[in-house]
Amino acid sequence: MLRFTFSKLIAVSCFTGLTLVGCSGSDDPSSMSSENQDLTPIDIGVIPAVDVAPVYLGIEEGIFEEHGLEATATVTQGGATVIPGVQSGDLDFGFSNVTSLIIGKDQGLPLQIIAPGPQTTGEKENDYASIMVGPTSEIQSVNELENKRVAVNTLNNITDTLLKEAIQQQGGDPASVEFVEVAYPDMPSMLENDNVDAIFVAEPFQTIALDNDAKIIYSPFVEPVEDLMISTYFTNEQTLQETPEIAEQFSEAIKEAQAFAEENPDKTREVLDQFLDLEPSVAQSLVMPNFPQDINLDSSQQLIDLGVKYEVIDKPVDLKDLISD
């Protein structure tokens, strides 16, 4: 944390297995190089997904250090733990999908988006998330999901909201769909065992499902919202107000790391091995998202509108209150 002593940061980094400034067992800051003493330690809450590859690239390539930061990536299971961690100050910065942050803001949480996360490739059936059905399924389009069971990773969030809109746009009744909450790693087997009729799944589990002969019928990050920015990096208002220069350093570092990820796809795939347990063939064949350097205001506003439409939030969130200048 920004408030941590160096000795505590060393203890945390040794415990998590993520090297911060070295785990020699010494608590004495004088044992550290003067160069590292000039860096500000930060803790970034991330999830085990391809989306956060730029964070690991930023650490590995020294991008954070170039911006005066000594970054540690703390892996959590999802936005449900990242958001409270950032809100409380246990994490300095976090990664979460835009709808989760919209919901948090609607509930009065002091959250501020400060940097872009991954964005759709914009290519139908060649995106990093999709609606998939089993190899023998007769379902060919999303409007045929009426009265069917569909697995999503979180209920009343970005995935089922987008799918409801897609079904309605194609003339179906989204209210008839039974959404089932299933963790991404369990989705391929749920589909294979006919426990659900379709899955809304992201990489690397999309590729794993394809290897089990599942079929893609729709790309919900490509449509119904054009150029969708799925997730972002954020902090709390207190961190932003008390240490605006550190928030700016972090924002610029993430943007540079995302640009590096775009320009170096091979290194981006290689870094996945640091936080995902993947077969080499899966890592090489999965679809990576785009990593933009600018926050997409248009798609974020559309997610707010859909949140109101499908009663994920009670009232519209002012985009200017959610996204830091």
311: which DSSP letter?
T
Please check whether residues 107 and 249 belong to one and the same domain: yes
pLDDT of residue 36: 60
Residue 246: inside a domain: yes
Residue 139: inside a domain: yes
Compute and round to an integer the Cα radius of gyration of the chain: 20
Last residue of a domain, one of 158, 184, 218: 218
* Cα–Cα distances in angstroms (integers) from residue 60 to residues 38, 64, 134, in the given order: 18, 9, 39
Q: Is the pLDDT of residue 23 over 60?
A: no
112 within 8 A of 323, measured Cβ to Cβ: yes
Buried b (16+ CB within 10 A) or exposed e, 261-287: bbeeeeebbbbbeebbebeeebbeebb
pLDDT in tens, 84-93: 999 999 999 9
Please check whether residues 115 and 232 belong to one and the same domain: yes
pLDDT in tens, 107-150: 999 999 999 999 999 999 899 999 999 999 999 999 999 999 99
Please check whether residues 21 and 114 belong to one and the same domain: yes
pLDDT of residue 61: 98
Please check whether residues 206 and 166 belong to one and the same domain: yes
Task: Print the domain residue range for 212.
Answer: 129-218
Last residue of a domain, one of 218, 240, 261: 218
pLDDT of residue 306: 98
| CATH code at position 201 | 3.40.190.10
- The sign of the dihedral angle between the CA atoms of 251, 234, 304, 109 is negative
DSSP assignment of 40-86:
EEEEEEE-SSGGGHHHHHHHHTTHHHHTTEEEEEEE-SSHHHHHHHH
More confident residue, 95 or 80: 95
pLDDT in tens, 232-243: 999 999 999 999
Last residue of a domain, one of 154, 187, 218: 218
pLDDT of residue 76: 86
Residue 107: inside a domain: yes
Please check whether residues 31 and 90 belong to one and the same domain: yes
More confident residue, 30 or 161: 161
Please check whether residues 96 and 40 belong to one and the same domain: yes
110 within 8 A of 238, measured Cβ to Cβ: yes
Please check whether residues 12 and 108 belong to one and the same domain: yes
How many separate domains does the chain show?
A: 2
Please check whether residues 66 and 200 belong to one and the same domain: no
Residues 194-201: what's their mean pLDDT?
97
Please check whether residues 137 and 232 belong to one and the same domain: no
More confident residue, 159 or 17: 159
Q: What is the pTM of this model?
A: 0.86
Please check whether residues 271 and 248 belong to one and the same domain: yes
| CA–CA separation, 208 and 229 (whole Å) | 24
Q: Is the pLDDT of residue 5 over 70?
A: no
Residue 1: inside a domain: no
Residue 124: inside a domain: no
Residue 282: inside a domain: yes
pLDDT of residue 51: 96
Residue 157: inside a domain: yes
Chain-centre distance for alpha carbon 73: 13
Please check whether residues 63 and 141 belong to one and the same domain: no
Residues 272-278: what's their mean pLDDT?
92
What is the Cβ-side half-sphere exposure of residue 153, based on CA atoms within 13 angstroms? 24
pLDDT of residue 179: 98
Residues 203-227: what's their mean pLDDT?
96
Parallel, antiparallel, or unpaired for β 129-133 and 149-152? unpaired
Please check whether residues 21 and 105 belong to one and the same domain: yes
- The sign of the dihedral angle between the CA atoms of 171, 213, 221, 92 is positive
pLDDT of residue 24: 34
225 within 8 A of 162, measured Cβ to Cβ: yes
Residue 86: inside a domain: yes
More confident residue, 78 or 124: 124
